[in-house]
Amino acid sequence: MSDAPAPLAPAAELAAADQNPPVALPQEKLSYRLITGPDDRSFCERISAALADGYVLHGSPAATFNGTSVIVAQAVILPEAVASSDAAVATAVDELEFDADLSGEAFEGHA
């Protein structure tokens, strides 16, 4: 056995590896995004791109002044994320065991 380091790869193999970089897998879209930035055309373009990508506006936009410029924020969500979340809640509610005959019983801590 030798303690010598392993031979280096030939230069041709290294060059071939540089020409074929690993392929990036597409990332799954986030269900929720909060887009922020100065109130300018670039911000509007980012919102428009998100809408074109399948997102919908969620809630009202927010604006603040940082002493120099107006900074805005807008939440966007994927409709299918909301649908799957709503379905999960509906399923959980359906699975609850509930005794509907609670006449006269009060729930402490609930109005």
pTM: 0.56
d(CA 43, CA 111): 44
Q: Is 9 exposed, middle or buried (0-12, 13-18, 19+ CB in 10 A)?
A: exposed
Please write the tens of the pLDDT for every residue from 16-50: 555 655 566 567 899 999 999 999 999 999 999 99
The structural domains of the chain, with segments of one domain joined by +, span: 30-94
Residue with tokens 């509906």: 90
Please write the tens of the pLDDT for every residue from 3-15: 655 555 555 554 5
Give the C-alpha distances (Å, rounded to integers) separating 85 from 20, 56, 75, 79: 40, 16, 17, 10
